[in-house]
Each structure stands twice: as C-alpha cells, then as structure tokens.
Amino acid sequence: MDIESLIAKLHPLERQVLPVLKENKTLSAICKASKLQEIEVIRSLQWLENKGVLKINTSVTKEVNLDKNGLFYKKEGLPEKIFLGVLDNEFKGLNVITKKSKLSREEVNACIGLLKKRNAIDVTKKEDILHIKITKEGEKILGEKSPEEEFLEMKFPMKLEDIKDQKTFGEFKKRKELIKVDEIKKVSIELTELGLDLSSRDLGGEVVNRLTSGMLKDGSWKDKNFRSYDVEINVPSINRGKKHFVNEAVKYIRSIWLEMGFQEMSGNYVQSAFWDLDALFVPQDHPAREMQDTFYLNGKAELPGLWEKVKDVHETGGDTGSKGWGYKFSEDETRKVLLRTHTTVLSAQTISQLKKEDLPAKFFAIGKVFRNEALDWKHLFEFNQVEGIVIDPNANLKHLKGYLTQFYKKMGFTKVRMRPAHFPYTEPSLEVDVFHPVRKEWIELGGAGIFRPEVVKPLLGFDCPVIAWGQGMGRIISEYWKITDIRDLYKNDLKQIREMKTWLR
Amino acid sequence: MPTVTLNKTEFEKLVGKELPLEQLKDRISMLGTDLEGIEGEEIKVEIFPNRPDLLSEQGFARAFSSFIGVKTGLREYNVESSGMKVIVDSSVTMRPFTACAIVKGLSFTDEKIREIMQIQEKLATTHGRNRKKSAYGIYPAKKIKFPIRYIAKNPKDVLFKPLGFDEEVTADEIIETHPKGKTYKNITEGWEKYPFFIDAEDNVMCMLPFTNSEDTGKVELDTTEVFVECTGTDLQNVMVALNIIVTTLADMGGKIYSVDIEYPDQKITTPNLKPPEMEIDLNLINKLLGLELKEKDAKDLLEKMGYGYESGKVKIPAYRADILHQVDLAEDIAIAYGYENFIEEIPNVATIGKENPLEKFMEKIRDILIGLQLIEVKNFHLTTKEDLTEKIHCKEEPISLQNAIGEHNHLRNKIFSSLLKNLQENQHHEYPQNIFEIGRIFESGKTETGVVETENLAIALCHDKVDFTQIKQILDVVAKSLGLTVSIKETEHPSFIRGRVGKIFMNNIPIGLIGEIHPEVLGLWTIQVPIAILEINLEKLFSFLV
C-alpha cells in the first residue's frame, strides 16, 4: 500500500496519535500528549502496529510499595517499639500493658511473639494472666534505630531489584498489609521507517469517519475529507431471521408437485384404524398393526358411511373381483384411534371424496407420520413423508416411474430405479431407489405402486387405476445438509439453524 | 422381515445354473426379495410377508430357477393316498382346522433337520401370525399309530413329555414352565381346554400351540417318513401352509401322501395340490402396466413366475397364498418382464396445481416472522406430560398414547412449552434468542376420533432486556401485516407473571395468550434469561381473512 492511501485510511484516533509519536514513546506520555484516553490510545497503537507503522514493546517491572499498615507504622512507629516503650523492669499484667499501648489485641500478640524471639521481654504467667517485663536486651533495642525502621524510611516506590535489606523485606512480606509488590506494565513504542516517514507528514487536516444526515442536510459534506476504510478487513458477524431448514426443503418439495399440476392434500394426524389401515386393505391381523409399531390412543372412532363396503371387501372381496382376506372383519379393530402411520391415509380420504367428473386428478401431501420407535441416530418416532396419487383411467406403471423420475431429478438425482416390493394396498408394489452421484450407491427412499381394486372401488365407487407413492424425505434432507444422525434434523440447536446454509435447489 | 439363508453351492444345485455373483445379486433383488447380504457361501435374502413359499431354500430356488428361465412353468407334485386318517373332535372350537400329510422317502442330516425346523418357525411367525392363525408340526411317521385324533382336553388331565424335557409332566405345567408355553401363552387367553394330537395308542403327539412330544414328535437322523400337521383358525391358511411344507419336503427328495381328515360334519383329503385357476383379462393387465403384451408373451412371463397358463386361465401353484385378484398376477407379470425394463413416461394430461390455503397462509406468517429476525424451530408433536403440566404450572391433561415405548408419550396441547425446552437447551449459544414455531396442538373435542387438531403459532423472545412491550410489538406487526387488529385483555395464567399476561382477542373471539414467563417457571427449566411468549391459534386468525 502506498503511503498516500495509507494516510487516507487512517482512523481519526490514529490521526490524533500519530503526530505526538515522534516526541513521546511511552503510553502515559502518548496519552498525555494526544489528550486521548488510554483505551483509545492502545487501540490506535494496535491498528498502527498492524499497518507496520510502529512496534509496541511491553515490559513488566516489579515495584515495591508500602501498604496500608506500612504507611501507618511509618507515621506512628512500629508496634513492637511502642509495646517495648510501655514496659517496666517489673512484671506487669497484659491487660494493663495493652491498654497503655493502645495497640489492638492482634498487634499485641504479634509483638509478644516477635519480642520473645529477640529476647527483648520476659513472660510469665500469674493466676492465668500473662505478665511481661522488659529485659536488658530490650532496653538496648528500644534505644537504637532498628533495620525495620530504616526500611520504612526509604523512598517508595522502589524497584524490587534495588532493595538491599532482603531479610527485612522478607519479614515485612510475611506481616499483614505492610508492604506490597505491584507488577507494572510499561508500554512503549518504537517507530518503524514507515512510521518515521508518516509522523513527519501532513495528514491532511480533519477527516470524517461517518457521513451524517446533518452533513447531508446542510451540505457540509462537500468540505469534508472522508476517511477511506480498509474494506478488506473482517467485520463482526450478525444473525438473520431464518426458517427451519427442514421447512425450507419441504417448501421446495411442495413447489415441485405444484409445478407438476398436483393439488395439495391435508388432514389429521389422529386417525381411525379404518382410514389408516382398513380402507387401504391392510389385513386386520397384519403384523404392522400391532402395538409395537403403531401408536394407539384411547377411545373409539366414528366410522363413515362407506365402512361396510370396506368390510365386505375384507371379508369376501365384495364386488371387486377379489377373494378378500376371508376373515370376519372386526368393527372393534377398525374403530381404534391411532396416530397416522403413513400419509397414504390422506390419499384414501381424498379418493373417497372424488366423483367421476373430477378425473383425471393428481394430489400430493407432505406431512408427518408416526411410528412407535425409540429415538436413535437412524430412527425418529415422527418424520415427514411425501405422498402422491394420480387417479386417471389411463394411468399405468410407466407413468408412475415418469412422475417419480421427474420429482427426483428436481431433487438432484438423475437415476431412479424401481424394484419389486410388497405393500398390502398396492399391486404392483415397488420400492423406489435413487442413485447417489457421490457415494455411487443406490439409496432406498420409499414405496410406490398402483392401488388395488380392493382399495379403490369401495372408496371411489368404481374401479380406476390410481398410481400412488409414499416416500420418506428424511434421508434426502439429511443428505443435502450432510447430517448423519437423523435426530439432528429436530434438535433445534440455534447455532446449527443459524449457520446452516440455505436450501439452494 | 423374515429372511432365508441360502448355501450358494446347494442353492445353485437346486436352481440348476450358476450365475456370476453380480448377476445373482441383481436377479435376487429383481425377483421381489431384498438381498440382505452375501458372505462367503451364505446368501441372506429378506422375504416379503406375502411370499411365505420363499422362506425355504427349496422354495426360493424353485422360484428363482423359473425366474431366470432354467425351469419355468407350473411344478407338478404327485400325491398318492396314504390311506391314513385324522379324526377331528368337535371339541377343538378354539382352533378348529387342521390339514395333514405324510411324506416318505426322505433322508435327513443334522443340517436338514435344522432347516425344516427353521422353515416351520419362520412360517409360523409370518404366515401363522406368531402361531395365532396357524402352527405346524412334523413327526417321524413310524412312531405313530393311525388313526390320529385331534381333540381338545383339559390340560390337567393330560400327561406327556414335551420337547426338551426328560420326564412326563401334566400339560398345564407346560403352559407355565416350557419356553414355548411362556412365549405363546397369550394366544390361548380364555381357553379352558387345549387341542392335542393323540395317536391310536393314546400317545400324546403334541399340545397346541406350544410343543411336540419328546417321544413321538422329534425328527431324527434315521427318520425317512414324516407326518405333517398344520392347525389353525382359518382352513385356507392351514391348507396353504401344508402345501408350502410338503412341496419343500418333496423338493428335498420326498414323496407326498395324502391323509383323510374327518371333521364332525365333513370329510376332506389333504394336501390339495391341485392348482387353483384364475381368469385373466390381458387388456386390463396391459392397461395397468402400460405394455402391449400378446397372449404368448403373457404366457411366457407367467411361466417365469411359476404359473401355468392355458387359454385365458392361469394355474396358480397351490403353495401361493397371495393371489387374491388378477392384479396380483399383473404384478408377477411385471416382475417377470423386469421392473428395470419399464420406460418412464409422463402422460399428456392437463391438471391444475392447487396449494392448501392454510399451508400457504402459514408460509406467509413464517415470512413475516423471518423479517423480524426470528428463528424457526421445529419440535416433535409428542412430548412428555411433565413438560406440558408441572414444568409450566399447568393442570390441563394432555392426550396420552396407550403404548408409546419411548418417554414421549403425550400429544402436546400447546407449543410454548416446547419453546421453553429449546431455550433451556440453547443457553450456551448467543443471545438474543428469538424463536418461533408453527405446528399442531391436540385437544379433546367432538370429531370422528375425539381429538381436535389446531395449527398454532408460538413465539418466544429471550434476552436480557426482554419485556411485554417487545412481544406485543411482534403481535402488532403480524396483525397489521394481515390487515387485522387485535386487542388484549388482562388475564391470569399460572405460567406467566401476574399483571403481565393477557388474552389476545380478535372481534371478541379469544385467539391466544401473551405475556412474560413467571420466574418460578423459568427456574423449573433452569433458564436464567427472561422470556416473553405469545401463542395463537392460526386457524382462527386465518378464518378472519377468508
């Protein structure tokens, strides 16, 4: 960067600091000279260092100072001297001595310990009370200036390394709030060649940091010199409002089916076994109906008028040309209330509302379905399914492959494969796989097929091919966002939601 | 789903052709079974529940051999009469049907014995619905004296030695102490008597649906003739089970002999391996599949699936349980044709797409809230009772599930408790945390199922300086964006701070709740940042727009 554009980008704080740097090298001096606060000076020095204008040197020195008690003793004398001063050649009771000395209990105790060690006092105990008298040695000490007193008389603050009487320093450090050692951080600067050059230049008078509406109103912006920013620098991050990423995908999937001319179906999560299972010709003793697979609720559902037709189909095939399941249909079973196990229940309900003149018709739904499973990295007890039906007298298996191929193309998968499968309500039944272009393997996404006449005729009133699919979406959605634990789709971690990239299809 | 494990060498011998591994894998998948894996000599295949006839290596090889064109068409099995009899007593009302057969000329190895035991087990699990609908037994025929009686007796009065026991016990002990007794006891709920097979010398052969006798019901290495019985609640089901078992034994090298079954009111001879016939309408099949098959093509394809075909009529193998309608034949024709050979096609049919208006409305609400910098969360509809009651100081009972295996066993009746949970779990992340959710809530009411479902919106603002004003501002923006006005009337609610909670009204109709969460409630969630909440009924809000 040339020096001119460097000058243009200088922040007002930098501009204020720069001119004083030639004369002032320490932080305190720079603060004083620039009339800025320390924090402002530190910030601008850091910026200038980043620009290669100067080098910041930080040194730490240790400084010794008198603390609270130290200052007091310097003025009033050391407590051990005061204590010695009130003693006699004869034993006197501690209470009397303490009172006379005006020292605190704590100080008195400290003095007794200290003076005993120096043989300055004799201590005896009479009737459980301490009695003390001064010794010869004590009188000598009292008459001389002690090293401690000399220490106190020194000029503080002192550098730690300048202290000669290390013995007294060591003792004082042990005593309460007598002396303290402070760490003094000294910041000084050293101008680089660039800095020397810069500090002797004219920085071009006042620069303006922010364009204000005031300047715009009075036109004063015309006379201003605007500071250039460093536009390449990182800025603090901010957050935006955000849709849940699963809903972003759901929205896209809805748009695909709408584009292809499908109408959206919706309906309840709580359904009767009749709609969820029996209307779809799932035999009443089918293993999937058992308690471990389906969530049941208390209560008995009301049945629609056409339930007896469905009953006939189960028992004998009714008028569908089927043999039926050949058992006795249980009304009790069909009235059970459950959480829908597939969105195909919506297809059954939709078909039951259609008339001949509504055909051909195409419907889709994206909705939650429920399975009685424990939560783990591969299983959720509720998850999204994409459902579709085409009720068209001319519909066939090739169309089914056509619609699904289109759909998956739009989801980013160009190769779709059908494999034979089995579902009680479709014949033919098939499993749909898509080819994962990166992992180079087929992934299984869900079932499809043509509804059996045993399903269609009782609901619609006449037979008509209905091609149908119910595809799981969890895998594709997880795949898109590289989620490997399916629970992460619904863990509602705000950091995850905030940082998840947008659905870009 | 049940699986069948094939030994590659044995399987290829049965099929009559060796295929390269990749082709073998591909063909297995395209037959309508799921290849689970190949490990060394072992091929593990998942069988769909509609094809119990594929549960044995023999049955699977039979179908596969046809499918790849080695041995196509209907397999004929000869049945001769054994002249033996099973007499069904009128007392077996709890399990009234049986079908039996004798198979001779077998030779067993330990491996083969294990195999036929497994086939029985897998069949009973799937086709027999865990023995409830039907169960099966195989006995060394030479140890049995005919005629056999199928009769129900009080278990206290019957003494015999069940499989795996070395002394006789009374039959009622079996229910409590035999492993199979414990497993299948639930099927027999309410039974006073239990069905037994008892031979002409009064030897108990088995107790149903539990176990055979150790003395007469155990196939051993020197067994060459077996007696097979199937019992159950549905004659058709029992007959098909017998057919699957005897054709498997026949494919192992046995010869099938029939048994006369004398019911109190009729006499039948089993097994009946005569293939049932079904008429087929080729036009309908072609229409359904989008193909233009000629009769000859259809015949070839049907034969690849093991059927016979003659002038418009399909002969269905007697071991197939799943052919109810000619659409079932259409599927097999499609499988034989090859699902991979169907070319996708988009028909030229004009239909108009249509969004669900409520979904569309909810999407608009989302957009408004995103504009206010809120983050959408998505919680489960199932949650714990504690989160919906104690932890928000509420008493209303949420709707419970009867049988949830996890702890999430109640349907939520409000969303904001889910939001509190989210805010509890996100305390280590950056604030403000302003979140919302659109989703369903569940309450009891007058509907077909007794449950009313409503789409609700809940918003939670959570940061150090949050207050009632801010949440009210959001409500106002939402209402204003929709061209609606809402009003608030002070109310009391145990989840909120007194004097800082209101009911939201639109045209004098209550549509929701707004306020600051009570510190005690925050404490229950260990949340240390204040929260303001609103929750409204979006369907009511929507109803004012249309």
Condensed to tens digits (0 to 9), the pLDDT of residues B328-348 reads: 999 999 999 999 999 999 998
**What's the whole-number mean pLDDT along residues A137-149?**
85
For B286, the domain range is: 277-341
Inter-axis angle of helices B21-30 and B57-67, nearest 10: 100
Q: What is the pLDDT of residues B84-130, one digit of tens each?
A: 999 999 999 999 999 999 999 999 999 899 999 999 999 999 999 99
Contact A244 B30 (CB under 8 A): no
User: What CATH number is attached to the domain comprising A135?
Assistant: 1.10.10.10
B257: β partners: B80, B102
One-letter amino acid of A199: S
The answer to whether the CB atoms of B453 and A270 lie below 8 A apart is yes
- The verdict on B96 and B111 lying in the same domain is yes
- Sort residue B188 into left (φ over 0), alpha (ψ -120 to 50) or beta: alpha
User: Which domain CATH number covers B331?
Assistant: 3.30.56.10
- Residue A291's pLDDT is 65
- The verdict on A210 and A311 lying in the same domain is no
Question: Do A118 and A21 lie in a common domain?
Answer: no
Extended beta strands in A313-465, E state: 336-339, 361-370, 382-391, 416-420, 426-436, 441-451
Q: Are residues B415 and B466 in the same domain?
A: yes
Query: Helices (DSSP H) in A260-379: which residue ranges?
Result: 273-276, 307-316, 331-334, 344-353
Whether residues B364 and B462 share a domain: the answer is yes
Is position A228 within any domain? no
- How far is Cα B170 from Cα B175, in angstroms, rounded to an integer? 10
Is B349 close to A292, i.e. CB distance below 8 A?
A: no
Asked if residue A204 is part of any domain, the answer here is yes
Same domain, A193 and A166: no
Residue A258 lies in a domain: yes
Note whether B489 and B408 are same-domain residues. Answer: yes
- Based on the domain organization, do A377 and A435 belong to the same domain? yes
CATH code: domain of residue B428: 3.30.930.10
- Grouping H, G, I as helix, E, B as strand and the rest as coil, residue A48 is helix
Kindly state whether residues A466 and A344 are assigned to the same domain.
Answer: yes
**What would the two tokens of residue B145 be?**
């004296």
| CATH number of the structural domain spanning residue B192 | 3.50.40.10
Nearest to B507 by CA among B541, B536, B459, B473: B541
Residue A316: what residue type?
Answer: T
Same domain, A448 and A303: yes
Token pair in block for residue A449: 């097929």
Residue A382 CA to residue A294 CA, distance in Å, equals 11
Cβ distance A398 to B335 less than 8 Å, yes or no, reads no
CA separation, residue A402 to residues B354, B385, B469 (Å) = 21, 46, 54
Q: Do B381 and A375 touch (CB under 8 A)?
A: no
Q: Once rounded to an integer, what is the mean pLDDT over residues B377-403?
A: 95
Residue A229 resides in a domain: no
Nearest to B495 by CA among B533, B521, B469: B521
Whether A387 and A442 map to the same domain: the answer is: yes
Q: Residue range B453-461: average pLDDT?
A: 98
- CA–CA separation, B307 and B315 (whole Å): 6
Among B222, B251, B270, the domain boundary falls at B270
Query: SS3 of B458, please?
Result: strand
User: Is residue B73 included in any domain, yes or no?
Assistant: no
3-state secondary structure of A140: helix
Between B254 and B40, name the one with better pLDDT.
Answer: B254
Q: Do B347 and A394 touch (CB under 8 A)?
A: yes
Q: Give per-residue pLDDT as tens, B148-160.
A: 999 999 989 988 8
Bridge pairing between strands B531-537 and B134-140: unpaired
Q: Which residues lie closer than 8 Å to B222 by C-beta, 6 or more apart?
A: none
- The answer to whether the CB atoms of A497 and B351 lie below 8 A apart is no
Per-residue pLDDT of B291-336, as tens digits, reads 999 999 999 999 999 999 998 999 999 999 889 999 999 999 999 9
Closest CA to B513 of B383, B400, B370, B417: B417
Residue A239 covered by a domain:
no
CATH at residue A484: 3.30.930.10
Residues of A in contact with B372 (CB under 8 A): 241
Instruction: With respect to residue B347, please indicate whether it lies within any of the assigned structural domains.
Output: no
Asked if residue A294 is part of any domain, the answer here is: yes
**Alpha helix locations (H) across A153-206?**
166-174, 193-199
Output the average pLDDT for chain B. Answer: 94
CB A284 within 8 A of CB A331: no
Residues B224 and B182 in one domain: yes
Nearest chain A Cα to B333, which residue?
A428
Asked whether the beta carbons of A272 and A338 are under 8 A apart, the reply is: yes
Whether B115 and B233 map to the same domain: the answer is yes
The answer to whether residue B389 is domain-embedded is: yes
| Predicted pLDDT of residue B489 | 97
Pair (A216, A362) in one structural domain:
no
Distances (CA, A) of B253 to A462, B54, B58, B307: 49, 18, 11, 22
Q: Please check whether residue B349 lies inside any domain of the structure.
A: no
Domain-located, residue A476: yes
- Gap between the Cα atoms of B288 and B310, Å rounded: 21
Residue B509 β-bridge partners: B506
Q: In this structure, what token pair is assigned to residue A437? A: 């272009």
Sort strands B148-153 and B79-88 into parallel, antiparallel or unpaired.
parallel
The pairing of beta strand B79-88 with beta strand B255-262: parallel
pLDDT digits (tens, 9 = 90+) for B122-140: 999 999 999 999 999 999 9
Supply angle C-alpha A214, A220, A221, rounded to 5: 85
Which of A176, A454, A205, A420 lies closest to B339, judged by CA? A420
Mean pLDDT of A36-58: 91
From residue B96, how far is each of A170, B99, B126, B292, B336 by CA, in Å?
Answer: 105, 11, 20, 47, 38
State the nearest Cα–Cα gap between B454 and chain A, in angstroms: 9
Is the same domain home to B472 and B380? yes
Please tell me the predicted confidence (pLDDT) of residue B444: 96
Is the same domain home to B310 and B409? Answer: no
Q: Which residues of A touch B355 (CB under 8 A)?
A: 254, 258, 264
Tokens of A125: 């105990």
* Structure tokens given for B328: 């079932």
* Domain identity same for A321 and A451: yes
- Pick among A319, A492, A493 to test the B interface (most B CBs inside 10 A): A492
Residues A338 and A301: beta-carbon distance below 8 Å:
no
In this prediction, what percent of chain B has a pLDDT beyond 90? 82
In sequence order, the β-bridge partners of residue B301 are: none
For residue A280, what is the DSSP state? G
Domain that holds residue A71: 66-179
Please provide the distance, in angstroms rounded to a whole number, between the alpha carbons at the two ends of chain B.
Answer: 49
Are residues B233 and B119 located together in one domain of the fold? Answer: yes
pLDDT band, residue A200 (cuts 50/70/90) = confident
Environment class of B507 (CB within 10 Å of its CB; exposed 0-12, middle 13-18, buried 19+): exposed
pLDDT value of position A466: 97
Report the distance separating Cα B383 and Cα B409, nearest Å.
6
Distance in angstroms (rounded) separating the CA atoms of residues B501 and B343: 62
| B494 and B515 together in one domain | yes
How many CB atoms neighbour CB A414 within 10 A? 10
- Which residue, of B252, B270, B288, is where some domain finishes? B270
The helix or strand, by DSSP H or E, that contains position B97, with its residue range, turns out to be strand B97-104
- Average pLDDT estimate for B192-204: 93
Look-up of token digits 């695909």:
A256
Across the range A316-336, mean pLDDT stands at: 94
Distance in angstroms (rounded) separating the CA atoms of residues B259 and B139:
14
Claim to verify: residue B448 and residue B536 sit in the same structural domain: yes
Which residue from A minimizes the CA distance to B369? Answer: A241
Smallest Cα distance from A348 to chain B, Å? 16
Structural domain count of chain B:
4
B509 confidence band (pLDDT: 50, 70, 90): very high
CA nearest neighbour of A468 among A411, A436, A413, A424: A424
Question: Does some domain include residue B74?
Answer: no
| Number of domains making up chain A | 3
Q: Is residue B350 part of a domain?
A: no
Whether A242 maps to a domain, the answer reads: no
The identity of residue B270, as a single letter, is: T
* The pLDDT of residue A12: 83
Contacts of B425 in chain A (CB under 8 A): 492-493
Q: Give the integer Cα–Cα distance in Å for A267 and A346.
A: 6
Q: How far apart are the first and last CA of chain A?
A: 42
pLDDT band at B38 (very low <50, low <70, confident <90, very high): confident
Residue B222 in domain: yes
Could you tell me which residues are beta bridge partners of residue B99?
Answer: B230
Is B378 within a domain? Answer: yes
Taking contacts as CB-CB distances below 8 angstroms, the residues of chain A near B344 are 398, 401-402, 404-405, 416
| Shortest distance, CA B288 to any CA of chain A (angstroms) | 5
Residues of A in contact with B405 (CB under 8 A): 292, 372-374
E-strand spans in B105-241? 134-140, 148-153, 159-160, 169-170, 194-198, 204-207, 211-212, 226-232
- Between B189-193, B285-289, B420-424, the lowest mean confidence (pLDDT) is in B189-193
Nearest to A258 among B355, B379, B433 (CB): B355
Instruction: Tell me how far the alpha carbon of residue A392 is from its chain's centroid.
Output: 51
Are B403 and B256 in the same domain?
no
The size of chain B, in residues, is 546
Nearest to B354 among A264, A339, A398 (CB): A264
Task: Give per-residue pLDDT as tens, A265-319.
Answer: 999 999 999 999 999 999 998 877 876 689 999 999 999 999 999 999 999 999 9
Same domain? For A284 and A379 the reply is yes
State how far the alpha carbon of A336 is from the alpha carbons of A70, A329, B381, B446, in Å.
Answer: 88, 13, 20, 16
pLDDT of A456 over the 80 cut: yes
For residues B198 and B204, the answer to whether their CB atoms sit within 8 Å is yes
Residues A159 and A102 grouped into a single domain: yes
Test the A interface: residue of B238, B327, B361, B444 with most A CBs within 10 Å = B327
Q: Give which of B421, B412, B398 is closest to B533, Cα–Cα.
A: B421
User: CB atoms < 10 A from the CB of A94, how many?
Assistant: 17
Q: In which band, very low, low, confident or very high, does the pLDDT at A1 lie, cut at 50, 70 and 90? A: low
Helices (H), B274-415: 282-289, 295-304, 326-337, 357-371, 385-388
Residues A161-184 pLDDT 10s = 888 888 888 888 888 888 888 888
User: By three-state DSSP, how is residue B370 classified?
Assistant: helix
Length, in residues, of chain A: 505
Mean pLDDT (chain A, rounded): 90
- A464 and A450, same structural domain? yes
Which one-letter amino acid corresponds to residue B392?
I
Two structure tokens written together for A102: 């005006």
